[in-house]
Each structure stands twice: as C-alpha cells, then as structure tokens.
Structure 1
Amino acid sequence: MWQSATVRTSLGFVLVAAACVFFADLDISGHDPWGELNRLFFGLIQPSFANLDYLGEALVRTLAFAFVGVGLGAGAGLLLALMFGSRIVRTFCAFIRAIHELFWALIFLQFFGLHPLTGVLAIAIPYAGVFGKVYAEILDESDPQPAQILPFGVGTVTALIYTRISQAWPHLTSYTYYRLECGLRSSAVLGFVGMPTLGFYLESSFSQGHYGEVGALLLLFYGMITTLRFWVRPRLVPLYLLAAPFLLGSGLPIRWDNVTRFFTEDIVPAPLRNGEGLGELWVWLLELLSTEALPGIWNTLVLTQIALVITGVLTLLLYPLGSRHFTNRLTGPLGHIVLVVLRSTPEYLLAFILLQLWGPSMLPAVVALAVHNSGIIGHLIGRRSNEITLRPDAPNGIERYAYELTPRLYGPFLAFLFYRWEIIMRETAILGILGIATLGFYVDSAIQEIRFDRAMVLILITALLNIGVDILARYLRRRLHLRHTAKSEP
C-alpha cells in the first residue's frame, strides 16, 4: 500500500512537471553561449589572482556577515524554539523564514542603505525562523525521563539546560554548523544587492568579462566552504563571534526619519495614502493581482515544479558519489568533492552566471536550482546509505543500485525532496531579481520604481505561497509516512 501510494505520488509530480515544460521558456538565446561557457571553464582552471587587491577585504566581510547573522539567528531561534508550542510563535517563524534573505535585504536597503545592519538583519531574521523550527524539533526528540527525576525546587532554566539542552547539544551544534555553511552562501549572495561581500566583486568581474578573476573568486569561495571544518573549531567560535562585529565595516549614518517614513508612508497602499476610499483600494489590489501577482505566481509555480522533479532525478543519479557501497578509497574523496561543490554553489550565483552565458529564460534558473539542491539531498542520501549493511551475497553495480539500495532509500529521498520543495520555491521567487518573470521580478521592479506599497504586497504573497507549499509538503510526508530526523534536515 505504501509503495503504490509513493509511486503514484512520484508519477503525479513527474506528470505535472512535464506539463509545466510546455508553459516554460527554456530557450538559449545568448550570443555564443558555449564559447562563453568555455572561457569561463578556462577561467576556473587558470584563475588570475594578480589584480585581486580587494580579495582579503571581500573575504573578511563575507565571513563577518555570516558569523554575526547566523549567531544572532541561532540565539533568537533558540528562544523561539522554547516557545514553539505556541501557534503564534510557529506562525511567526513560518512567516519570517518564508521570505528570502535577498528580499529582507531589499527591504532594509530602503531605510538603512548600504549599512552593515542591512546585511546582518537580512541573514539573521529568516535564519531565526529556521533555527526556531529545527531546534524545537531537536529538543522534542530528547528523552523526557531526566526531567522527571530532578529534585524539587530546581529552576526552570536550570532544568532545561541539564535535561533537554544537554541531551540535544550535539545535534544542536551539528545543525548550527550546517547553517553557518548556508550563512556563508547567503553572505556571498548579498553582494549582488550592493553589500561588500564576494558576490559584489564576482558580479563586477563577470560583467567586465574578467573570467580569470571570476575563477579566482569562485575557487576562493569553494575553498572557504570545503575547509570549514578545519578552521571552525568549537574553541575558536566564541573568538570569531566576538571579532566579527568589528569586521563588518561601516556605512553612512542611519537616518531614523527614513525608517519612520517607510513604515508610516512608503508601504501604505497608494489609495489609502492619498485619502481615497476602500473602493479605490480594491481596484488598486485587483490591478496589482492581474498584472503582476498572478503572472508572477504562475511562473514561480511552473519553474518550481520543473526544478523540483529535475532535482529528484539528479539526486538519484548523484547519491552513489557519497555512498561507500559504490566508491572506494580513490573515488570516494572525488565523489565527496563533487557533492561539496554542487551544494556549496548558491543557486543565485549559478543562475546569474548561466543567465550571462545562455541569455534570459527559465533554463538557467532550473539548472541552478536542480544542481544546488541535488548536491544537498545527494549528500544526505549518500550518508544515509552508509548506514545500511548489505548481505554478503549482495549484487554489485547497477543491480545493487536498482534493487538493493535505491528502493530502501526512496522513502528518505522523498522526505528530503518534499522538505526542499518550499526552499526551492523561495529561491525561485528571488531569482526573479535576475530578470526571470517570477514574483521576485515584480518585487524588484516595484522597488526600482519606488513603489514600496506594491513591493510589500508582492512579498507578502510570496511568503503566503511558500507557507502553503510547506503545509502541502508536510501533509504529503505524513500521508506517505515519510520520516527524516530533525538533526539531519537539509
């Protein structure tokens, strides 16, 4: 029964994605796209560090924004996790994590400008929502018995520290370490909206056709991610957290009157701001929905479903690279490096590069989303396969893949894929900033036209859409009895 339901659900998603292909713009229209791709490849294998005098500063800024943003997000997330039983807290966490870091950055840019606070809050706020959810699930998995045998009179905080938190500490730190890796990606991507991180200089070098410098920046970024476990030691983390705020740089002084005006005037719908009635407000909303919101929602859904299914297909092809059942001492490290590179490359960064090479269409976004997310899920499924013990006479090669391991891993694979569904949709929306007609395209256009009231409505629609997909994904996981532990969530 479970297998038939799983097969039907999988085929349903494949058919929906196949139908979406007919409505998607997947053309390649760039001038000499394969020649440009070839030049980028040679930039990667022949990087130029000669003119990168800004390299050290860009690296320090990227690390500083990541540590401060993730640190604040983890602290706030732990507090939210302790109150996660409240429906209000759960709804709040779902809402703030449903809005992408770049959307938060675009909002804060309007009144803080290119101030360090913009980048820090853009990372910290959505990460607090993610930490709150995952930390709560990890704490819920702890054994309740130690709390029942504590002596009378022990304070609530003391009891919490010595029972639930002490048990969950290894999983809490492991997940926080993973989110730091995500924070480094987010910090780098903030450069595309003007913050002085690696993404800012990468965009500049790419726009000028300096592929050697692009290769150097990309290799530096990959090196920073792959060596994370060597330089992020538990004893050093407090030092990093203390030093990071002083390495964020400085910006123009914050004008708090701009902050006040943004909330009291700029984001107020134009009809209300002009003293018009509810009838004019309704007309304004209908026009916004018909000309921007509905086309943006449609393109976001179409692109998301295609990317989701391709992510699943690539994951099933890639997970053997991280499995000891298919690799040896030579191929194992190579497979690990491939998966690290795939999952370490931010979707936004890869989509930006492919858009420059292939021209404006949905294809760069589909490829970028599928490559990044399949790298993450492939790594997790490969790690899960290492926990399986095969019988001595188990077959090898394709038969081992098709009949021994993949059927036993398909449940966790679907669980992780459905978990990433909401994340893929959130990334799909933000890729509109690059020119793809998803919701982010209309948000960015409204901000460029200084129509913040329209932008805020569209951002709210984006958040509600992501929350809806998350609810549907959780329903499917429950219906199909798909499980994965909170400590291994991607």
Structure 2
Amino acid sequence: MQLQGTGRRLFWLSIAFIVSALVCLPFADLQLHAVDPWLELSHIAWGMITPSFAHLTINELLQALGHTVAFALLAVVISVPLGVVFAMLFRFRVVRWAMASIRAVHEIFWGLLFMQIFGLSATTGLLAILIPYTGVFAKVFAEIFEQQSQLPTQSMSPKAGALSRYVYGLIPQSYGAMAGYVRYRFECALRSSAILGFIGLPTLGFFLESSFKQGDYSEAAGVFWLFLLLIATVRYWLKPRFWWLYALAAIWLLPESPTVYGSTVWQFFSQDIWPSAFLRGDLTASLSWLDKQFWQVAWPAIGTTLVITQLALVLTGILTVLMYPLATKVIVVNAIRLPSRFLILFLRSMPELMLAFIFLLLFGPSAIPAIIALAFHNAGLIVFLLSNASEADAKEHATQAFAKRALDRYVYQELPRRYTAFLAFLFYRWEVILRESAIMGILGIATLGFYVDSAFEDIRFDRAFFLILITALLNIVVDSVSRSVRQRAGLTTANLAVR
C-alpha cells in the first residue's frame, strides 16, 4: 500500500511539472528565424570531423590550456578548505544565508563584476570560480556531515570542542564522499574556467567563441576536442597525492595581473555599485530608481529566465528518460552502449553556454537555443549518474533480468527502480538550470544575464549590481522550493555529484 501511495505521489508530481511547462509555452520566444539550420549544421559537422589549429600557434594553445587548468585547480584548492570551515559553522543561520547568496550568483556574473576592478587577470578568474564554489562546498560538505554516524563524536570527552568533534569524528568518516565530490567539482571548475573565456579571460573558451564567431568551425572543433580530451582524462592525470605539486605548477601558469590599489577596490564597492540617489541619502529618488529598475528591467527578465528554466527542466526529464536505456549494459549491448556513453560524455562535458552558442547559429536568437542546450547538458549528466548506478547495482546484487526484450526490461524493471532517483536528480538540478538560464543573456537572449552584461557595457554598475542581487534572490527562492518539493515527495539520493 505504501508503494502505491509513493508511486501515485511521484506520478502527480511529474504531471504537475509537465503542466507547468505547457503553461510556460505561450510566454516563451520560440520563433525560428530566417536561417538555414541544415546548411549551418553541415558546416559545423564537417568542422567537427576536420579539426584544425591552422590559425593558432602551439604556444597560444598551451597557454590557454594552462590558464584553464590553473584557474580551476587553484579555485578548488582554495575553496575546499574554506568550504570545510563554513560547513562546520553551517548550523548558524547567517552562515547558511551567506553561502546561499554567494553560490546563487553564476561564475560569469562574478567574473563581470571583478573584471571592473582587476581587468582580464588571474585575480578575476580565480575569484569568479572560488567564491561560488566555496558556497557550494559548504552546503554539500554540511549535508555529508549530517549523514554520518554520531557515535564516534558521542564517545569523545565532554570537554572536546566542536572543532575536535569534526576533526576526529565527522571528517574522517566523510573523507571518501568529500573526496569524490571534490573530484567531480573539479570537472565542473574546468567547464567554468573555459566559459570565462566568453567574457574575455584567456582560457580555451576565448578561442572557441572567437572561432565560432568567425565561422571557422574546424578551428573551433580543434579547441573543443582538446577541451573534451582534458575533461575525459582527468581521472588519469589528476592524482590527489600530487595536489601540492599541481598547485605550484598552476601558480606558475597564471597570467600576469595588473597592480590594483586598495582605494580603487574601496571606491568600486562603496560608491560605484550604488545609485547616486542612495549615496546622497535621497530616499524618494532611491525608491523611484528601484521601482523603475525592477518593473522596467528586472521583471520582464525574471519572467523570461523562469520560462526558459521551466521548459528546460521538463525537456531535461524527457531527454533523460529517452537516453538512459541506451547508456546502460543492463538494457542494451555494448555496440549501442559505447557510442551512447560517448555522446553522454560529450553532452555533460560541453558547457551549456557553448552548446547554446552552437544552437544559436542553427536556430537564430530566441529562447530555443537556451532551452535545448540546457536540456541536453543536464540530461547527459543525469543519464551518466543513473546508468552508473544501474550498472553498479547489477554488478553488486547480480540482478537478473526477467524479460528478454530490452524495451520490456526498461519499462517494467529499470524505469520503476530508477524513477525516484531520476526525479531527485532532476530537482537537484533545478537551481543550476536557473543559474545557467540567467547567463544565457550573454548570447543576446533576453534573460537577466542580458541586462547585467548590457549594464556593465554601459558602465551602469549600480544597475548591474542590482540585477545580480535579483538573480541571487531568485536562485535562493527556487532552491528553497526545490528542497521543499524533494522533502515532501521523499526524493532523496546519496549521490551528491549532481549539484
């Protein structure tokens, strides 16, 4: 009876989110512009199978590769211990709010913010990644600590402080889960580092965007295959025992940073990002400014961002259900599984912004490129996690398939087993999809990121900062709703690598 109740609850939850996507459809810009997608797609496909570095020197490629790895590695090396410290303090509400606020702002927005102070420098690249990653690590580590047994800490001396309980009790138990999550997050940091090239930082993303804009798809393919090779081989060259050696090498690889004076930083954060009426103490003018910025700029952008998020979330679920059976040997043979796994590697390794840029060339400037890019990337990640769990269970428990036909095994055996985890993974990604929807504005799509980028270009730092705060608050709200939905529906998963 309990199983029937759970199944019914999950069924209606799925229906509710499909309906929410249908409600969003009339408000989405799904117009196809006058482009020839098949001709452009054929050019891109030819470029993908004929990669070239004709216009790039070996030195330029190695520098971009080194900067991509250096930004990611140092950001993770710095943010992990900070995350551990804040995770130990996560019981305090002010810490939870602070961590939620910094992780709610996308790395691109942090990069645009710090670029106004430090320029296109190593400082900008590092801060843009390590600040939100500190918030992510703090939250995930705190959740990992909560899952551990309290017996070791209860057996300690009553005089032992909170620090001792973590150092000698919780952290040793959590080390395996924490190390696994750090490895996963480093892959994410590589993607974040790469897409910082879209705003001008000297990573692989800079050459990828430049090549695509110039229509040199062979060169873009060369850069992309290099990046994909970097992601695919992380497990082979990233050895935890050599992290200190990697960190030293990363410091040496960093690009030069200009001298920045404290007065410049102080002026930016104390004056430049605040409305002049606020600095004058003019309350009436300040409220008028806020009213104008919210209703004329932020509100339409919030609507577009939420519509794209909801459509991408539901499309992610549909694509996951369709692709998952092709990626696990429990259902299909290796002749089908191996190319499917390569496709999944491609989708989860390709940053959403890069995928959206490709679809933008195919379908023109609308919400379609953003929705498809977000759905394919997140579906690739969730399929990867589900298929790994499926194969691990089959190996550990020697699960016997009761049906000979692959379709029957999927519909009657695997899908019911994985459906709870599938929904849990999907709702864990809800907040992430919202963050990525916001930055799609960098490509000209009218989300919050479009107005943030425009404000920085117009040197309207007050408007840019206001919109970044709106983006952060929106992410916090969606994260809270997602967490509430998961708790009410009983959607839990031990695999935290989905965040």
TM bracket, shorter-chain basis: over 0.9
Mapped to 2, the partners of 1:392 and 1:410 lie a distance apart of: 18
* Offset from partner CA, 1:115-156 (integer Å, 9 cap, x none): 210000000000000000111111221222122334676676
Question: Structure 2 length normalisation: TM-score?
Answer: 0.94
Instruction: Report the Cα distance in structure 1 between the residues aligned to 2:130 and 2:164, rounded to whole angstroms.
Output: 27
TM-score (structure 1 length as normaliser) = 0.96
Equivalence for 1:344: 349
Q: CA deviation digits over 1:243-282, x for unaligned, max 9?
A: 2122111032223332121112111123223x36211111
Match of 1:308 among 302, 305, 313: 313
Distance in 2 between residues matched to 1:165 and 1:35, nearest whole Å? 55
Post-superposition shift, 1:384?
2.2
Given that 2:181 and 2:497 are in contact with CA atoms closer than 8 Å, whether structure 1 keeps it comes out as: yes
In structure 1, the residue corresponding to 2:130 is in which secondary structure? helix
Measure, in 2, the Cα distance between the counterparts of 1:327 and 1:100: 38
Aligned to 1:2: 6
The residue aligned with 2:242 is 236
Task: State the AA in 2 paired with 1:43.
Answer: G
Cα gap change, 1:354 to 1:379, in 2 (>3 Å): same
- Distance in 2 of aligned mates of 1:152 and 1:76: 27
- For 2:390 and 2:401, locate their aligned partners in 1 and report how far apart those are by CA, in whole Å: 16
Q: For residue 201 of structure 1, report the CA deviation from its aligned partner.
A: 0.9
User: Could you tell me which of 97, 107, 110 is aligned with 2:103?
Assistant: 97
After superposition, where does 1:165-176 map in structure 2 within 5 Å?
165-176=171-182
Alignment match, 2:116: 110
Q: Does 1:372 align with 2:414?
A: no
C-alpha deviation, 1:75, in angstroms: 1.6
Question: Which sections of structure 2, spanning at least 5 residues, go unmatched?
Answer: none
- Aligned partner letter, 1:25: D
> How far off is 1:37 after superposition?
1.6
Partner of 1:36: 40
2:490 matched residue in structure 1: 481
Question: How do 1:357-368 residues align onto structure 2 when only pairs under 5 Å count?
Answer: 357-368=362-373
Distance in 2, matches of 1:353 and 1:308, equals: 20
Alignment of 1:255 with 2:255, yes or no, is no
One-letter code aligned to 1:191 = G
Match of 2:138 among 132, 143, 147: 132
AA matched with 2:478: V
1:236 alignment partner, SS class: helix
Of 244, 249, 272, 1:266 maps to 272
Matched, 1:21 2:30: no
1:466-490 deviation line (CA, Å, top 9, x unaligned): 1101111111111111111154444
Whole-angstrom CA distance in 1 between matches of 2:352 and 2:487: 29
Asked if the contact 1:73/1:127 (under 8 Å) is kept, the reply is yes
- 2:337 aligned with 1:335: no
Structure 1 residues 35 and 381: alpha-carbon distance in aligned structure 2, compared to 1, 3 A threshold: same
Paired residues of 1:172 and 1:487 also in contact (CA < 8 A): no
Residue-by-residue CA offset, 1:417-444 (whole Å, 9 max, x unaligned):
0110011001001111211111111111
Indicate the SS of the match to 1:251. coil
Distance 2:11 2:159 in 1: 54
What runs of 5+ residues in structure 1 fail to find an aligned partner?
none
Which of 467, 484, 489 is the matching residue for 2:476?
A: 467
Give the aligned residue type for 2:201.
Answer: M
Does structure 2 retain, via aligned residues, the 8 Å contact 1:116–1:251?
A: yes
Q: Which of 41, 46, 51 is 1:47 aligned to?
A: 51
In structure 2, the partner of 1:218 is 224
In the alignment, what sits opposite 2:286?
A: 281
Matched, 1:190 2:190: no
State the match for 2:449 in structure 1.
440
Equivalent AA in structure 2 for residue 89 of structure 1: V
Change beyond 3 A, Cα 1:148–1:19: closer
